[in-house]
Amino acid sequence: MQSNLAKSERRNVASGYHFSPEATRNIGIMAHIDAGKTTVTERVLYYTGRVHRVGEVHDGTAAMDWMEQEQERGITITSATTTCQWMDHRINVIDTPGHIDFTAEVERSLRVLDGAVAVFCAVGGVEPQSETVWRQADKYKVPRIAFINKMDRTGADFFRTVEMMIERLGAQPIPIQIPIGSAETFNGIVDLVKMKALTWEDCDFGMEVHEVPIPDDMKDVVDDYRSRMLELIADWDDDLLVKYLEGEEISEQNVNDGLRNATIAGDIVPVLCGAALKNKGIQPILDSIVSYLPNPREVSAITGMNPQTDVMEERLPDENQPFSALAFKIMTDQHVGKLTFFRVYSGVLAKGAKVYNSSTRKVERVNRLLQMHANRREDREVVYAGDIVAAIGMQDITTGDTICQMDAPIILESMDFPIPVISIAVEPETKSDVDKMNIALARLSEEDPTFKVHQDPETNQMLLSGMGELHLEIIMDRLSREFKVSANIGQPQVAYRETLSRHSIVDKKYVRQTGGRGQYGHVCMEVYPIDKGVGFEFVNEIKGGAIPSEYIPAIRKGVESAMGAGVLAGYPIVDVGVRLFDGSYHPVDSSEMAFSVAGSMAFKEAVRKASPILLEPIMKVEVIVPDDYLGKVMGDLNSRRSQILDTEVRSKSHVQVIKAYVPLSGTFGYVKTLRSLTQGRSTHSMEFSHYSLVPQGIFEEVVSAKTSAEDNKSVI
């Protein structure tokens, strides 16, 4: 059998963009780092005719890894969009990063996608970042198919990876393929839907798919897994259920219908396998995207708030509906300026039209519409419901904003991003770099919602905050290369937090008389700890007009301002509640400013009385280490104040998996240390887990360092 590609001419997809929603698939490729996402994507683009040469991650030629930093490091840093065609369907693809430092790219991509292909390494199985991206997909109810890659690698275990999907992800995987052999004996797959064995040849770059008989020694296991597949999907197709129970012949269409219905409902995950680098197993992925993942009309209609009526409304993926879209990514292009990536949920938009940003309440003009292929652009005249495109011209727009028609406003649900956990101090080398740095940092923070820039009020240092060492390293590299900014960089700093250990009550007056009108604000408040992760709670219990209602927002503003710098070491205060229960005002001297100051002063005094404590970020770390180096790695982790959670022996591959909680401060430089201890044979991943109480010794060091910095500043 020839593949769909080989049967027809490879098409130039740039020529026709208007596909019906039914013939559209918006999908993402997601995975743990080094599982082979980009390699899979490159093959997808080649077999669909989108590109005419396969790029490789290892030699820096992958089309989707277009940034210099991506090509040099062999990792995906930013999500890249493209489009291709298969079986008369248009597939919009977003290739997402696998490294935890760039998880925001995955988050915002999944927000606008209708389906996803989750790629797993057959050797590593379900790894920590796999769990993270899976939870993100669960959050947005994104249907998935799974591809177990690298079946040609030593230690590959398809069936173990399927079991790990159940254990670690809580998923219901259904193998619709099983491998023929593994590692050096991997020779193809058995398609349980078609009941055919599929093989590929190296001589034609995997272009042709060959159907061959199922090997005799696999018939029992094939029959077993086909029965399991049919049992699980029978509930989703009445015709299939009747045939299965009565022992009648079940058609391929019956199976496909059942798989499609159950996948779109989110109840099952069809599982495929192959070896992308060896060009084996990619065409069935494309077939499965079309067959099992939903089109825009098969997912729940997008809903949003009408800002004029405060009523929730639905927008259907129909050209006759009012235009609505969500901006999910901002990027600065040195040639065309600001690029806004957005998903069109309803209606039609033409080049040159004006749109209404309902989030900012501003009207903007769309000068150009672009179909993106990584960093390459193709102009569009019109975009339709279901499209994922970019626009030039919109300036006052940020990630998560809704654009729509002025006469049919709607605000779609935005996105939440994790808070940065690590900071570095940076200063320009020369005066000429100051302005360039400010402009560059503003653009980079606009692009990346998890990158923050702020100035330390005590030291006046410029602090850059991000999700990890690699994240900030990439930022600094971009500052130098793209924006030509020379800067001195300080050592990484931990983003500590402060909170309360008990409640306290204060009665605080702010009174100033400077001749003429004075300032008067009087508040009585209680502060108290609240549940972890809640952040802030403000309760107004003022009765009888003790404080006029127009001053209450000013008090809250003053409290929130004071929360930005704690009383122990100047770190933000989190997970605190404030109950405002009494106070007084002056009919002449009271003002919003006076009550804002009074609120700030009262809050700080109350915090000091409430036994404040210091919290540090804790990372969840997973290390895969060969048996020979286990002792060295465990010893090093213990020296970093780690809490070992579990060790798992993988006897077939002679490696062990260590799971641990490690304070962020203990992870600095870990990559180099681990490489040195294990001669480069170990891999690891980490992600932010939670904040925890700082040990007394570390607490004293942090506070002492802060005090020393303040003393030095006062001397200067």
Q: What is the pLDDT of residues 403-421, one digit of tens each?
A: 999 999 999 988 877 777 7
Q: Which residue has the higher pLDDT, 670 or 292?
A: 292
The whole-number pLDDT of residue 8 equals 37
First and final C-alpha spacing in the chain: 79
Encoding tokens for residue 362? 């501003």
Most confident of 32-46, 129-143, 296-310, 481-495: 296-310
Encoding tokens for residue 171? 């998923």
Q: Which residue has the higher pLDDT, 610 or 77?
A: 610
* Strand 89-95 relative to strand 80-86, pairing: antiparallel
Binning pLDDT at 50, 70 and 90, where does residue 118 land?
Answer: very high
Lowest mean pLDDT of 18-22, 265-269, 648-652, name the range.
648-652
Please give the Cα distance from 507 to 8 (Å, whole number): 80
The whole-number pLDDT of residue 447 equals 85
Binning pLDDT at 50, 70 and 90, where does residue 712 land?
Answer: low
* Strand 144-149 relative to strand 269-273, pairing: parallel
Tens-place pLDDT, residues 577-609: 999 999 999 998 999 999 999 999 999 999 999
Under DSSP, is residue 446 helix (H, G, I), strand (E, B) or coil? helix
The whole-number pLDDT of residue 14 equals 38
* Strand 487-489 relative to strand 519-529, pairing: unpaired
| Average of per-residue pLDDT across 251-275 | 93
Q: What percent of the chain has pLDDT over 70?
A: 90
pLDDT at residue 481 tops 90: no
Binning pLDDT at 50, 70 and 90, where does residue 515 land?
Answer: low
Chain centroid offset of residue 589 CA: 50
Binning pLDDT at 50, 70 and 90, where does residue 189 land?
Answer: very high
Q: For residue 405, what is the DSSP state?
A: B
The whole-number pLDDT of residue 4 equals 42
Q: What percent of the chain has pLDDT over 90?
A: 49
Q: For residue 670, what is the DSSP state?
A: H
Tens-place pLDDT, residues 154-167: 999 999 999 999 98
Interior angle at CA 620, CA 157 and CA 686, nearest 5: 65
Residue 179, C-beta contacts closer than 8 angstroms, at least 6 positions apart: 151, 158, 186, 188, 189, 190, 273
The whole-number pLDDT of residue 15 equals 41
pLDDT at residue 449 tops 90: no
The whole-number pLDDT of residue 532 equals 86
The whole-number pLDDT of residue 286 equals 96
pLDDT at residue 71 tops 60: no
Under DSSP, is residue 171 helix (H, G, I), strand (E, B) or coil? coil
| Average of per-residue pLDDT across 138-151 | 94
Encoding tokens for residue 249? 């012949």
Query: 417: closest CA among 399, 397, 440?
Result: 399
The whole-number pLDDT of residue 653 equals 57
Q: For residue 50, what is the DSSP state?
A: S
| Average of per-residue pLDDT across 504-518 | 86
The whole-number pLDDT of residue 457 equals 60
pLDDT at residue 276 tops 90: yes
Lowest mean pLDDT of 39-53, 411-425, 508-522, name the range.
411-425
Q: Which residue has the higher pLDDT, 72 or 444?
A: 444
Encoding tokens for residue 111? 């927000």
Average pLDDT across the chain, whole number: 86
The whole-number pLDDT of residue 333 equals 74
pLDDT at residue 561 tops 90: yes
The whole-number pLDDT of residue 394 equals 92
Tens-place pLDDT, residues 330-355: 887 777 778 899 999 999 999 999 99
| Average of per-residue pLDDT across 272-291 | 96
Query: 89: closest CA among 40, 16, 28?
Result: 16
Lowest mean pLDDT of 44-48, 168-172, 429-433, 710-714, name the range.
710-714
Please give the Cα distance from 95 to 78 (Å, whole number): 8
Most confident of 22-26, 75-79, 477-481: 22-26
| Average of per-residue pLDDT across 463-486 | 85
pLDDT at residue 215 tops 90: yes
Q: Name the pTM for this structure.
A: 0.70
Main-chain dihedrals φ then ψ at residue 119, nearest 5 degrees = -100, 130
Element (H or E) spanning 621, and its range? strand 612-626
The whole-number pLDDT of residue 58 equals 47
Crossing angle between the packed helical segments 103-111 and 128-139, to the nearest 10 degrees: 30
Inter-residue contact 372 to 66 (CB < 8 Å)? no
Inter-residue contact 633 to 677 (CB < 8 Å)? yes
The whole-number pLDDT of residue 331 equals 83
